[in-house]
Structure 1
Amino acid sequence: MVNGKKSQSLVAGLAANLSENLKDLRRCGHHVSRRATVASVGIQLSGFKRALGDPQSLAALIAQSRKDNDQPYRFPRGVSFDVAVSKQTIAGSEVVVLNSNGEDSQARIIYLIGGAYLVRADKQHWQFLNRLAMTTGCQVIVPLYPLLPQHDFTAAYQFLIQLYTDIYSQVAVSNITLMGDSAGAGLAAGFCEYLGQRGLPQPGNLILLSPWVDVTMSSKLIDRYVEKDVTLDPAGLRHIGRLWAGKADPRDYRVSPLYGDVHPLRRVTVFTGTHEVMYPQTNDFVRKLRHQGVQVDYHIGRGLFHIYPLYDIPEAATALKTIVQTIRQDELPVE
């Protein structure tokens, strides 16, 4: 914790830096909304990046997650929903379902939440998922898949394959969208490659928000984005990535889908910001998809931060319209 004077100084410094960044973007012809700038300040003040970048703080974060992830999940304080919500248990893990009172034929969105494979869903996630459920009308299925430090990727895959096969036995795969943010998006991409390896059907859509597709963070371009990124620190992510890989090579496609066979994937939609360390690897992943002839729709948020579509900002509203259009596979008016 910091005292009042230090806190005020930190806020002033962050505001000044972001103001300069905003001026630079405008000189380049790019415009970031005021609400996005304010959200960026709030993210930086949360201290998550500092926790990732400091070994002692990261160890404390992992220890806290060990305690938290052993407890039954509770929605964060202040979370409310405008749609029907229920909880189920599948393969020993909880699943939250939004629009749970829909028809059996209702289209499904399987949403994999990010959090560096370590931290559970926060208020920001549920607010976004509430908007997603309302605007798409789909049944949104949110598996609270096994996390670090108790589990590595193998437990998550065992759970997801059971969940996925159960869902596509109920509805046509063309009516299933697999979606995720950050680590959850990386898991979604790797899982689709896993389906391809086993000759299992792909979901109708794969939608990735700031996907973590290389846990080794090996791109030579990452250093250009570290200072701009208000959310993530690559050193901490590399450590977490090694833990998530468990006994496997961190370049195993199931944890780093950038190195896998993307040919079986279909209808991929990707969102990323230019002010995040995931940007270079996301570019590499999109290039690989296109080289393999995979249909991909790529949306780059100029001057925007990690997982920006989850926030209540104008740029996210535009992204949500695109997501709705993708899922409905028809043309919606764009304001």
Structure 2
Amino acid sequence: MVSVQAKLRMAALRASGQKRFYDNASALHHRLPRHQKPSMARPPRKIRRRVDVGQHEVNGFPCFTFRPRTEPASDLHVLHLHGGGYVEQVEKHHWTYAADLVARLGCAVTLPVYPLVPHHDHTATIPMVQAAHDGIEAERVVVSGDSAGGALALAIAQNLRAAGRPQPERLILYSPWLDVLLEDPVSELLDETDPMLGIAGLREAGRMYAEGTDPRDPLVSPIHADPAGLAPITLFIGTRDVLLPDCRRFRARARDAGTEVDYREYPGMFHNWLMQAIPEGVEAMNHVERLLRRRPVTTPSAPGRGSSPTPG
């Protein structure tokens, strides 16, 4: 059953016109300035009162790290890559998500303000988030990402594998955007009931992000990536999300490749519902907290960061 709070949130999304941003290419370009306000790229004062906030630059772009205010952070460090179709700036719910993780787990959370299209494309965005990851020095590193950020998390994991470097302890993907072309015909059908995303606008954002390369490049559209050898994956997706078909296909491919996948499909849920104050969001985040409280059992030959977790 979908909660009353979730139904009200979906109604509010429809009333707000959020989906109109992704109606088509012209609508997306017309509304871009309000989705890329410089003021959005800083944690709100309300968040700064809850956590200790550090800031540094990575490839010329700001990176914020939240830590507990009253006690040292644990040995867990979460790198979160925000969503928004590569065209939207960090939003309030992303800052809140990061602060909530700090409160729940006493960990550190880094949130890069990465370069956006149309001023930049994947050739700037992927290296920046990779450098943000590489700059983290912690015993336990988890990479999470919502929507476009989910694809960026998988790009980092692919780069690490290609370089023969240790994987993160886990990848946590919230409603990940896995194919910038959105080629699965089922997505067209879901467009009618998705209260937040629209395929035409997403494809335009994806076209700009992939500029200069094949949009089926696995780093750009990880639905085409080989999942073998990637970190254990937890993936959340709702059945009202146009991204659902690609998530189902990715789950099947990852399992066939022998990669551990904790797949969580929520009936009736919309895009990235986990970061909303609704019962289904709390339930999903409780699962994330339980996952991250478990210390992975490591093999004797590979202690410390990058050790192989024992499959669950």
> TM-score normalized by structure 1?
0.82
State which drifts further: 265-274 or 104-113: 104-113
C-alpha displacement of 1:103: 4.1
User: What SS does the corresponding residue of 1:271 show, helix, strand or coil?
Assistant: strand
- Matched-pair contact (CA < 8 Å) for 2:24–2:204: no
Question: 1:5 aligns to what?
Answer: none
User: What SS does the corresponding residue of 1:294 show, helix, strand or coil?
Assistant: coil
Would you say 1:53 and 2:23 are equivalent positions?
A: yes
Let me know the Cα RMSD of the aligned residues: 2.1
State which drifts further: 102-111 or 304-313: 102-111
Q: For 1:201 and 1:161, locate their aligned partners in 2 and report how far apart those are by CA, in whole Å.
A: 13
Q: For 1:45 and 1:130, locate their aligned partners in 2 and report how far apart those are by CA, in whole Å.
A: 28
The answer for unaligned runs of 5 or more in structure 2 is 297-312
- Matched-pair contact (CA < 8 Å) for 1:186–1:256: yes
User: What SS does the corresponding residue of 1:319 show, helix, strand or coil?
Assistant: helix
State which drifts further: 51-60 or 243-252: 51-60
Question: 1:26 aligns to what?
Answer: none
Question: 2:103 aligns to what?
Answer: 134
Amino acid at match of 1:42: A
User: What SS does the corresponding residue of 1:304 show, helix, strand or coil?
Assistant: coil
User: Cα–Cα, structure 1 residues 81 and 245, in superposed 2: closer, same or farther, change >3 Å?
Assistant: farther
- Matched-pair contact (CA < 8 Å) for 1:65–1:148: no
1:216-269 per-position Cα deviation (integer Å, ceiling 9, x unaligned): 100121122111100000111111101001201111111100101211212100
Aligned pairs for 1:265-304 (under 5 A) are 265-304=230-269
Aligned pairs for 1:1-335 (under 5 A) are 31-62=1-32, 64=34, 68=37, 73-75=41-43, 81-99=49-67, 103=72, 106-167=75-136, 170-172=137-139, 175-329=140-294
C-alpha displacement of 1:96: 1.1
Q: For 1:123 and 1:266, locate their aligned partners in 2 and report how far apart those are by CA, in whole Å.
A: 29
Amino acid at match of 1:159: M
Amino acid at match of 1:49: K
User: What SS does the corresponding residue of 1:221 show, helix, strand or coil?
Assistant: helix
Q: For 2:93 and 2:292, locate their aligned partners in 1 and report how far apart those are by CA, in whole Å.
A: 22
- Matched-pair contact (CA < 8 Å) for 2:237–2:271: yes
The answer for unaligned runs of 5 or more in structure 1 is 1-30
1:79-115 per-position Cα deviation (integer Å, ceiling 9, x unaligned): 5652222222222111111116564762100000001
State which drifts further: 156-165 or 71-80: 71-80
Structure 1's consecutive aligned runs of 4 or more residues displaced over 6 angstroms after TM superposition are: none
C-alpha displacement of 1:121: 1.1
- Matched-pair contact (CA < 8 Å) for 1:181–1:211: yes
User: What SS does the corresponding residue of 2:135 show, helix, strand or coil?
Assistant: helix
Which structure is higher in helix share? 1
- Matched-pair contact (CA < 8 Å) for 2:73–2:107: no
Amino acid at match of 2:223: L
C-alpha displacement of 1:78: 6.0
Q: Percent of aligned positions with the same letter in both sequences?
A: 32
Number of aligned positions between the proteins: 295
Higher alpha-carbon Rg: 1
Amino acid at match of 2:127: Q
User: What SS does the corresponding residue of 1:208 show, helix, strand or coil?
Assistant: strand
> TM-score normalized by structure 2?
0.88
